[in-house]
A and B are shown apart, each in its own frame.
Chain A
Amino acid sequence: MARTRVRKGWHRYLNGVTISTTAVAIFVLLPIYWLIVTSFKTPGAVGDNPPQYFPNPLSLTNYQVAFSQYTFGRYIVNSAIIAVIATFLVLGIGTVAGYALGRLPMRGKYPILLVLLMISVFPEVAVVAPLYLLLRDIGWLNSYQALIFPYTAFNLPFAIWILRNYMLGIPKEMEETARIDGASPLKTVWSVILPQALPGLFTAGIFTFTACWTEFLMALTFNSSNNYRTIPVGIALFGSQFTVPYGTIFAASVVSVVPIAILVLVFRKSVVSGLTSGAVKG
C-alpha cells in the first residue's frame, strides 16, 4: 500500500523524467543500431551520401571479409584465451589478498593499499616501453603469457580494492563460526567468505575481463605476430593506408560485442548486486 502511495507521489515527477530518459534510451541505442546496420551494407554503400538508413541490399560481405581475409576468428580466440585466464588469475590471487587486507590484522595495510592505488592509476603509456624490454629479456614476446601476466598485474590492484571493499561488509561472526567448527583459515575463506563475496567477485571479474578484452597499447607492442594478435589490434589492421573499411570494422565489432553482451545478460543480476553493496553497507 505504501508502494502505490509512493508511486502516486512520484507519478507526476516520473512523467517528465520518463520522457527525457526514454529520449536518453534512444540516444543510447541509436549508435548501436547504426553500427549493426552499417555492418550489413555492401562495402560500396557504406560511403553513400546521403547514407542508406537501412541496408539495401542486405549483405554479409563485410562479415566474410573480416573472417576470411583478415582471419578475425583467430583474434577472437586469442582475446578470449588471454582475457579468461587473466580474469581467473586476478580473481584467484585477488580474493585471498583482498581478504587478507580487509579482514586480517596486518601492519602497514593502509600504505600497501595506497601503493596499490598508485599502481592502478599510473598511465599505461609510460609503462609499455620498459615492460617491452623486460618481456624481451625473459623471451616472452609474441605469446599468450606476454599479455596475461601484465594484464593480471595491472588489474590486480583495482580488483583487490573491490574485493576488499566487498568483504568488509560481511558480518564478522562468519569467521568465528567457522573457527568454532574447526576450519582452517584457507577453508574458511573458501567455504564461508567466498560465497558471501560472490557478487563482488562477479564485479571484479567483469571489470577485469572487459579491461583485458579492450586493451590496445600493450597488445600492439608485445604481440606483433598474427598468431597472437588480439581483437583491438586486429581491427587496427583492417584496410590499408588510405582506406578505412567501416563496414568490415563494424562487422568485426558486432561479432566481438556479442559474447560480452551475452555474458552480461546471463550474469546481470550478479553484476548489479555486486557493484555497490560494499559501498552502501559501509
Chain B
Amino acid sequence: MQKLQSSDNSGTRATRRGGHGRLVASTAALSALGLLAAAAGAAAANRPARSSSHASVTTITWEASPISTSGPDLRKVLIADFERAYPNIKVQLISAPTNTDTNESQLETQISGGSSSPDVFMGDVIWPAVFGAHGLAVPLSTKLPKSFFARFAPGLVAGATYQGKVYAAPFFEDQGFLYYRKDLLSKMHLPVPKTWEELKAESLQLQRAKLVKYGFVWEGADYEGATCDFMEYLTDAGGKVLSSNGKSSTLNTPAAVKALTFMRSLVTSGVTPAAITTYQEPQAMNTFDNGQAAFLRNWDYAYSASQSAGSKVIGDVGVAPLPTFQGQSYPGYSNIGGWNLYINPHTKNMSQDLTFINYMTGVDAEHVMATQFSEIPTNEAVRVQKSVIAVNPVLATVPHTRLVARPSQTPEYPKVSQAIYQNVNEALAGSESPAKAIANASAGINTALSGGGL
C-alpha cells in the first residue's frame, strides 16, 4: 500500500517538477529583470539631478499641481521663459496631486521630515497661517524688501500674512463671478441682476417660462468651497467670522442668519436644486454647461470651460460681478481663491528661489499667465493693462469686483472652515434651521480657536 503511494507521489512529483522548472526559470528571469531595473532606477536617482557641482548652474525644484487643463502646460511655459531669462538657474518641475488636501498633507509630511525638496512650492491661499505656525514655510518678509510686496493687488498680501510676517507671494488669483445666460435674459428682457433678491426673482421667471430647469447653481457641498460661497453672502449682509484679534468668533449675528436663510430659500423656492448639498465646482459647472441653469457662481476658469467643446452654451454666457443684498452698495463681495508661492525652510538655494519668485510674480510672467492662459494676475500693474482686460470677459470684470478673504489668519483655519461648511451644508439640506446652524458654527469656531476637540 505504502509502495503504491510513494510511486504515486513520485509520479506527481515528476510532473510537478516539470512545471516547477518552468516556474523557476520564469522567476529567475523576472527577478533578474526586476533587479536590473531597480539598479538602473537607483543609479538614475543617484545621478546628481539637483544642485550640481558646476558653480554656474543651479537647479531648483518647484512643486505645483497642474494649472491648465488642456493645451500647453502653463507651468512648463513659465519655466521655459524663466530659464531663458536666467540661464544660470534650471527649474525641475514636480507635479503635485490635484486634490488640495492631499497636496497639502504630502507637503507637510515632506517638509516636517526635513526634506530640502521642493525648494519652492505652489500652495493654496489659505495655507500661510498653518504653514507659518508650524515653521513649514519661509517668512518672505524677512528675505524680501517691502517694495516687493507693493506690486500685488490690495488685500492679497494681507491674506498671506500671519502674525505680522508674510509667508507667501501671491502667484495667481481667483475669485467668484456671476455667470449668466445672456440669451435667456435678452429673451425675457431682463437686466443682469444687481441684488440677490433680483437674481432669485429673475430665476423664478425664467423657470416658470420653462426656459431653463434651474435658476441658480453654486457650490454647497460639505467642503471648503461652501465656505467660499458662504463668505460672499455673509460679507454682503455685513457679517464677519472672526474678531479683529482673530481669537474669537463673531459669526453669531442676525446678518449671518440673514445670509444663510437666503441661501436656504434658494433651495426651498426651487431656484436651486436640492442636490446643491452635493455640488462642488464640477457639478455646478456641468449643470450650467448642459444648459440647465440660468445663473452660475463659479471661479474664473468657468468662462473658458463654458465655451469649450462639449458645452451646450457656447456663445451664450456673460460674466458680471456678484450681486449683493438689497440696500447694500454694488457689487457684492467675491471670495478670494488662488495660489501662492512658498519657500521650503530647508532649501539650500535661497537666492535662486527668491529670484524665481521675483520673476514669477513679475510683469512678464504675470502677463503671459493672463493673456495666454486666462489666469487672473496678482500683479496690480498687469491687472489693469488694456491687453489683459481685452482677453476675455472675466479679466475685464476683475477691476470691477470687491474682494473678501476667508478667515484663514489662524493656524486652526481647517477646523474653523469645517465648522462653517458643515453647518452651512446641514442648513441647506434642511436638517438644521439657519439660526441653529449659525449658532453651532460659531460654537464650533470657538472650540477650534481654543485648540480643543479632536
Indicate, yes or no, whether A interacts with B: yes
Q: Interface residues, chain A, CB within 8 Å of chain B?
A: 42-49, 81, 84-85, 88, 128-129, 132-133, 136, 141-145, 148, 174, 177, 191-192, 194-196, 198, 220-221, 224-228, 233, 236-245
Kindly state the separation between the CA atoms of A196 and B16 in the bound complex, as whole angstroms. 8
| B6 close to A195 (CB less than 8 A) | no
CB-contact partner of A133 in B6, B68, B113, B281, under 8 A: B113
Please indicate the chain A residues that have their CB under 8 angstroms from the CB of B85 in the complex: none
| A85 close to B35 (CB less than 8 A) | yes
Given contacts A177-B9, A191-B17, A224-B110, contact A239 B30 (CB under 8 A): no
| B310 close to A47 (CB less than 8 A) | yes
| A143 close to B310 (CB less than 8 A) | no
With both beta carbons as reference points, the residue of chain A lying nearest to B73 in the complex is identified as A69
B95 near A: Cβ within 8 Å?
Answer: yes
In the assembled complex, the CB of B115 is this many whole angstroms from the nearest CB of chain A, namely 6
- List 7 A-B residue pairs with CB atoms under 8 Å apart, sorted by A's residue number: A133-B113, A144-B38, A194-B20, A195-B16, A221-B106, A240-B68, A242-B285
| B37 close to A239 (CB less than 8 A) | no
In the assembled complex, the CB of B240 is this many whole angstroms from the nearest CB of chain A, namely 27
| A244 close to B282 (CB less than 8 A) | yes
In the assembled complex, the CB of B8 is this many whole angstroms from the nearest CB of chain A, namely 12
In the assembled complex, the CB of A169 is this many whole angstroms from the nearest CB of chain B, namely 15
In the assembled complex, the CB of B177 is this many whole angstroms from the nearest CB of chain A, namely 13
Besides A237-B95, A243-B301, 15 more A-B contacts (Cβ < 8 Å) are A42-B310, A47-B289, A49-B292, A129-B112, A132-B113, A136-B113, A145-B38, A226-B94, A233-B97, A236-B97, A236-B98, A239-B69, A240-B66, A241-B100, A243-B285
| A240 close to B98 (CB less than 8 A) | yes
Kindly state the separation between the CA atoms of A44 and B311 in the bound complex, as whole angstroms. 7
Query: Chain A interface mostly helix, strand, loop or mixed?
Result: helix
In the assembled complex, the CB of B63 is this many whole angstroms from the nearest CB of chain A, namely 7
CB-contact partner of A228 in B41, B68, B115, under 8 A: B41
Please indicate the chain B residues that have their CB under 8 angstroms from the CB of A48 in the complex: 290
B385 near A: Cβ within 8 Å?
Answer: no
- Kindly list the 3 A-B residue pairs having the minimum CB-CB distance in the complex, ordered from nearest: A44-B310, A195-B16, A85-B34
In the assembled complex, the CB of A64 is this many whole angstroms from the nearest CB of chain B, namely 12
Kindly state the separation between the CA atoms of A233 and B271 in the bound complex, as whole angstroms. 39
With both beta carbons as reference points, the residue of chain A lying nearest to B74 in the complex is identified as A240
B401 near A: Cβ within 8 Å?
Answer: no
B299 near A: Cβ within 8 Å?
Answer: yes
Kindly state the separation between the CA atoms of A141 and B45 in the bound complex, as whole angstroms. 9
B1-44 toward A: CB 8 Å interface, digit per residue (1/0)? Answer: 00000100100010011011001000100110011011001101
Kindly state the separation between the CA atoms of A238 and B70 in the bound complex, as whole angstroms. 11
Kindly state the separation between the CA atoms of A31 and B65 in the bound complex, as whole angstroms. 30
| B34 close to A88 (CB less than 8 A) | yes
Given contacts A44-B310, A241-B100, contact A224 B38 (CB under 8 A): no
Kindly state the separation between the CA atoms of A237 and B108 in the bound complex, as whole angstroms. 18
B114 near A: Cβ within 8 Å?
Answer: yes
| B113 close to A129 (CB less than 8 A) | yes
B372 near A: Cβ within 8 Å?
Answer: no
Kindly state the separation between the CA atoms of A236 and B65 in the bound complex, as whole angstroms. 11
Kindly state the separation between the CA atoms of A84 and B29 in the bound complex, as whole angstroms. 12
B286 near A: Cβ within 8 Å?
Answer: yes
Please indicate the chain A residues that have their CB under 8 angstroms from the CB of B31 in the complex: 85, 88
Kindly state the separation between the CA atoms of A129 and B109 in the bound complex, as whole angstroms. 6
With both beta carbons as reference points, the residue of chain B lying nearest to A238 in the complex is identified as B98
In the assembled complex, the CB of B105 is this many whole angstroms from the nearest CB of chain A, namely 8
In the assembled complex, the CB of A163 is this many whole angstroms from the nearest CB of chain B, namely 15
Given contacts A240-B69, A242-B285, contact A225 B94 (CB under 8 A): yes
B55 near A: Cβ within 8 Å?
Answer: no
| B110 close to A195 (CB less than 8 A) | no
With both beta carbons as reference points, the residue of chain B lying nearest to A71 in the complex is identified as B95
Kindly state the separation between the CA atoms of A49 and B286 in the bound complex, as whole angstroms. 9
B309 near A: Cβ within 8 Å?
Answer: yes
Kindly state the separation between the CA atoms of A254 and B125 in the bound complex, as whole angstroms. 36
In the assembled complex, the CB of A86 is this many whole angstroms from the nearest CB of chain B, namely 9
B67 near A: Cβ within 8 Å?
Answer: yes
Of residues A46, A238, A241, which shows the largest number of chain B Cβ atoms within 10 Å of its Cβ?
A241
Given contacts A177-B9, A195-B17, A238-B98, contact A148 B38 (CB under 8 A): yes
B102 near A: Cβ within 8 Å?
Answer: yes
B287 near A: Cβ within 8 Å?
Answer: yes
Kindly state the separation between the CA atoms of A143 and B39 in the bound complex, as whole angstroms. 10
Of residues A42, A128, A143, A148, which shows the largest number of chain B Cβ atoms within 10 Å of its Cβ?
A143
Given contacts A88-B34, A177-B6, contact A236 B20 (CB under 8 A): no
CB-contact partner of B41 in A141, A144, A220, A236, under 8 A: A144
| B34 close to A192 (CB less than 8 A) | no
Kindly state the separation between the CA atoms of A238 and B96 in the bound complex, as whole angstroms. 10
Kindly state the separation between the CA atoms of A191 and B113 in the bound complex, as whole angstroms. 47
B99 near A: Cβ within 8 Å?
Answer: yes
| B20 close to A195 (CB less than 8 A) | yes
In the assembled complex, the CB of A99 is this many whole angstroms from the nearest CB of chain B, namely 16
| A221 close to B290 (CB less than 8 A) | no
In the assembled complex, the CB of A85 is this many whole angstroms from the nearest CB of chain B, namely 4
In the assembled complex, the CB of A59 is this many whole angstroms from the nearest CB of chain B, namely 11
With both beta carbons as reference points, the residue of chain B lying nearest to A77 in the complex is identified as B37
CB-contact partner of A236 in B27, B69, B99, under 8 A: B99
In the assembled complex, the CB of A182 is this many whole angstroms from the nearest CB of chain B, namely 15
Please indicate the chain A residues that have their CB under 8 angstroms from the CB of B35 in the complex: 85
Please indicate the chain B residues that have their CB under 8 angstroms from the CB of A242 in the complex: 281-282, 285, 298-299, 301
| B110 close to A236 (CB less than 8 A) | no
Kindly state the separation between the CA atoms of A49 and B293 in the bound complex, as whole angstroms. 12
Please indicate the chain B residues that have their CB under 8 angstroms from the CB of A129 in the complex: 109, 112-113
In the assembled complex, the CB of B269 is this many whole angstroms from the nearest CB of chain A, namely 22
With both beta carbons as reference points, the residue of chain B lying nearest to A234 in the complex is identified as B95
Given contacts A84-B30, A240-B66, contact A195 B13 (CB under 8 A): yes
| B115 close to A136 (CB less than 8 A) | yes
In the assembled complex, the CB of B22 is this many whole angstroms from the nearest CB of chain A, namely 12
| B38 close to A241 (CB less than 8 A) | no
Please indicate the chain B residues that have their CB under 8 angstroms from the CB of A238 in the complex: 98
| B66 close to A239 (CB less than 8 A) | yes
With both beta carbons as reference points, the residue of chain B lying nearest to A65 in the complex is identified as B70
Kindly state the separation between the CA atoms of A136 and B431 in the bound complex, as whole angstroms. 48
Kindly state the separation between the CA atoms of A145 and B281 in the bound complex, as whole angstroms. 38
List B303-334 residues whose CB lies under 8 Å from chain A: 305, 308-311
Please indicate the chain B residues that have their CB under 8 angstroms from the CB of A136 in the complex: 113-115
In the assembled complex, the CB of B407 is this many whole angstroms from the nearest CB of chain A, namely 21
| B109 close to A132 (CB less than 8 A) | yes
